[in-house]
Chains A and B, each alone.
Chain A
Amino acid sequence: MDPATILIVDDEFILRESLKGWLERDGYKVEAVASGEEALECVKQSRYDILFLDIKLEGMSGMDVLSEIREIDPDVAVIMITAYGSISTAVEAMKQGAYDYLLKPFEPEHLTVLIEKIMQNKAQARENLYLKQQQKDRTRFESLIGQSEAMQQVFDFIQDVAPTESIVLISGETGTGKELAAKAIHTHSRRSGGPFVAVNCGSLPEHLMESELFGHQKGAFTDAKNTKRGRFELAKGGTLFLDEVGEISQRMQIDLLRVLEERRFYRVGGTQPIELDSRIIAATNANLEEAVRRKSFREDLYYRLNVISLSLPPLRKRKDDIPLLAQHFLERFAQETNKQIDRISRQALDELMLYEWPGNVRELENAIERAVVVGKQRSIEPEDLPITSPQTAEPAGTSLQEVERAHIARVLSENSWNIQRSAKILGIDRSTLYSKIKRYNLRRDQ
């Protein structure tokens, strides 16, 4: 760190020189001037960390100098130097933005502490600014990638909730990165030293699920030849990630609810309770509220899981992340396959941007992987991509009216024939949409 630069403004020669000499022994870069006018010139010409300013100066008063300095360089810490008679002015100066004041003569210790404090605060402020900037510039958070506003909010959210012990319910379409988000929460939590154990609740048949989650005692059932520890036990001290939690059976929902309420569980066939010592993060691509309404998901479990909810945006809602993600995957797969492909052509990028990505980031990842594998040139070209964007979906011979009809029908269908929402997406008003529906003879059951 560079030594602090200090400017002393005092019209008494002996005072400013003795302070200058004292501070120089501390290794500071010190200048001293006799008037406010000279001080302003100095501040215009150079940067100072600290300015010692006598309140009573001949010519411009210390208060006037203070107010002008605040205009020229608000970052400089101004310490007013005052005598017993003018403490009230010094206090007023602090209201006007002075950092502190010192009563002449000052204790050497006090002077040292004050300068150290100022320099520490400045270093802290610089660090905060750097972190803020870094935050602004970040395009990655653990394994999640995105520079869009939507993803920045996700990163902020993860950082906020990670240190808590609360259950988090992550929702998002398939391929949006729910497990990566769960891992990021785990990594930033107090349990990061423990294991991250994931269970895909949708992939296990019900009869295996109980044993998989809770473990079993030897002899608990016909095939239980050995005692086995379940995922809840394996996640001790860490995080248990229950993926596709909307897929678990009604029976397992009851078991899971009981564990979450009692914070303990039993192995299948076991009689000794085991304390739950893991943070639970659940994820779903299903609409759990809808499932609760349909009675296929227990309401009490839903509320138990939905303590903190994080919704991951689909890729089509954060298309500005596509170039960043595509480049990331390109670099990864090019390295893995040892192929000399290092860029995506403008036309291919246009295709990527126009496509709606129903499979989200995972689909993009697969698309880039395929493009790298089949690609024959230095860059990825549209023909390498296994996608068809809406613009290329219609055959070349299709008329404009036919394209418009098909597009309106698709938007209406995707929005359950919500006219207001569809009109907004199409960029037309409702009456125009009604007239087009009538003209093209579109019907809800088509």
Chain B
Amino acid sequence: MSPAEEPHILLSPLGRIDEHILPSLRSAISQVYGLPTQIASLLQGVDFAYSPERRQYHSTSILKELAATLTPAQIKVLGICSVDLFIPILTHVFGEAELNGRASLISTYRLNEDLPAQSWHTVYLDRVVKEGLHELGHTFNLKHCPDPRCIMHYCRHIADVDHKERSLCRYCRIFVADALQELGLAERLGPAARPNHTDMLHRDHGVPDKGSGESA
């Protein structure tokens, strides 16, 4: 099997982005989801998604275009752009993803708000990586997680993202394992994604569905 045919997560830059972003994302995604990554630019730009009324880019339209271009080996795609994204009902979004689907998207546009004066670039890169891991998580059918340290926790303010860890909580790890099993990729779980014995014990004893009871 050639590398292109091997199941992988595709990182697709959409326009100009910081050169450090892709290497950081590749490493973090492999660590958390245990799958290899590849880089390819799937779209020639995102102008088609521009809304003159909103002066923003409609993220759902971009997602659809990304999803439409995927090959079977590209099991998930994470698009990375630097424009201001929106969905019609909300003023803006940092990213969007198809829940239990294949396409996800993040924008770096608003991730530079409230950056600290020192080490701002490190913090900025960290936010991009965490947002990428978060949106990709939705494609593995992960919903928002109540654990504030989990990468799937929904942060009301961008600065709160800095307090999250670059990892999944033990419940979300199990849900990712389930999703990979459904894809026939269970054996590919990376160390960070692999549920440990304790996780499974909890699962056997009926841990409630992670989606239940949580707030946004």
Q: Are B156 and A109 in contact (CB under 8 A)?
A: yes
A-B contact count (CB 8 A): 76
Give chain A residues whose Cβ lies under 8 Å from the Cβ of B213: 1-3, 27
One of B13-21, B67-75, B91-99 at the interface: B91-99
A24 contacts the other chain (CB 8 A): yes
Secondary structure call for the B interface = loop
Query: Closest chain B residue to A27 by CB distance?
Result: B211
B203 contacts the other chain (CB 8 A): no
Give chain A residues whose Cβ lies under 8 Å from the Cβ of B90: 18, 22, 105-108, 111
User: Considering the complex, which residues of chain A in the window 292-334 have a beta carbon less than 8 Å from any beta carbon of chain B?
Assistant: none
Give chain B residues whose Cβ lies under 8 Å from the Cβ of A119: 215
Give chain B residues whose Cβ lies under 8 Å from the Cβ of A27: 143-144, 210-214
Q: Are B89 and A25 in contact (CB under 8 A)?
A: no
Tell me which of B97, B99, B212 contacts A3 (CB under 8 A).
Answer: B212
How many angstroms between the C-alpha atoms of A24 and B216 in the bound complex?
10
B88 contacts the other chain (CB 8 A): yes
Q: Are B143 and A26 in contact (CB under 8 A)?
A: yes
Give chain A residues whose Cβ lies under 8 Å from the Cβ of B210: 27
A390 contacts the other chain (CB 8 A): no
User: Considering the complex, which residues of chain B in the window 160-216 have a beta carbon less than 8 Å from any beta carbon of chain A?
Assistant: 210-216
Give per-residue flags for A83-117: 1 if the beta carbon is below 8 A from chain B beta carbons, else 0: 00000000000000000000011111101110110
Give chain B residues whose Cβ lies under 8 Å from the Cβ of A109: 156-157
How many angstroms between the C-alpha atoms of A185 and B10 in the bound complex?
68
Interface centre among A25, A26, A112, A119 (most CB of B within 10 A): A25
How many angstroms between the C-alpha atoms of A25 and B93 in the bound complex?
13
B12 contacts the other chain (CB 8 A): no
Query: Closest chain B residue to A18 by CB distance?
Result: B87
Interface centre among A19, A22, A106 (most CB of B within 10 A): A22
Give chain A residues whose Cβ lies under 8 Å from the Cβ of B214: 3, 26-27
Q: Are B99 and A24 in contact (CB under 8 A)?
A: yes
B154 contacts the other chain (CB 8 A): yes
Q: Are A105 and B143 in contact (CB under 8 A)?
A: no
Give chain B residues whose Cβ lies under 8 Å from the Cβ of A22: 87, 89-90
Tell me which of A18, A25, A107, A116 contacts B215 (CB under 8 A).
Answer: A116
A14 contacts the other chain (CB 8 A): yes
- The size of the chain A interface, using a CB distance under 8 A, is 26
Give chain A residues whose Cβ lies under 8 Å from the Cβ of B154: 25-26, 112
State the Cβ distance, A271 to closest chain B Cβ, in Å.
Answer: 61
Q: Are A21 and B93 in contact (CB under 8 A)?
A: no
State the Cβ distance, A191 to closest chain B Cβ, in Å.
Answer: 38
How many angstroms between the C-alpha atoms of A231 and B154 in the bound complex?
59
How many angstroms between the C-alpha atoms of A70 and B212 in the bound complex?
27
Give chain A residues whose Cβ lies under 8 Å from the Cβ of B157: 109
Q: Are A18 and B60 in contact (CB under 8 A)?
A: yes
* Given A109-B157, A112-B154, A113-B156, residue A26 in contact with residue B216 (CB < 8 A): yes
State the Cβ distance, A270 to closest chain B Cβ, in Å.
Answer: 59
Give chain A residues whose Cβ lies under 8 Å from the Cβ of B97: 25
State the Cβ distance, B169 to closest chain A Cβ, in Å.
Answer: 14
B33 contacts the other chain (CB 8 A): no
Query: Closest chain A residue to B215 by CB distance?
Result: A116
Q: Are B91 and A105 in contact (CB under 8 A)?
A: yes
- 30 pairs across A/B with beta carbons < 8 Å? A1-B212, A1-B213, A2-B212, A3-B212, A14-B88, A18-B87, A18-B88, A18-B89, A21-B60, A21-B96, A22-B87, A22-B89, A24-B99, A24-B143, A25-B99, A25-B143, A26-B143, A26-B216, A27-B210, A27-B211, A27-B212, A106-B91, A107-B91, A108-B92, A109-B156, A112-B156, A112-B215, A115-B215, A116-B216, A119-B215
Other A-B pairs beyond A24-B99, A27-B143, A115-B215, 11, CB < 8 Å: A3-B212, A14-B88, A15-B88, A18-B87, A21-B99, A22-B89, A105-B88, A105-B91, A106-B89, A106-B90, A113-B156
B-to-A contact residues, CB < 8 Å: 54, 60, 86-93, 96-97, 99, 138, 143-144, 154, 156-157, 210-216
A-to-B contact residues, CB < 8 Å: 1-3, 12, 14-15, 18-19, 21-22, 24-27, 104-109, 111-113, 115-116, 119
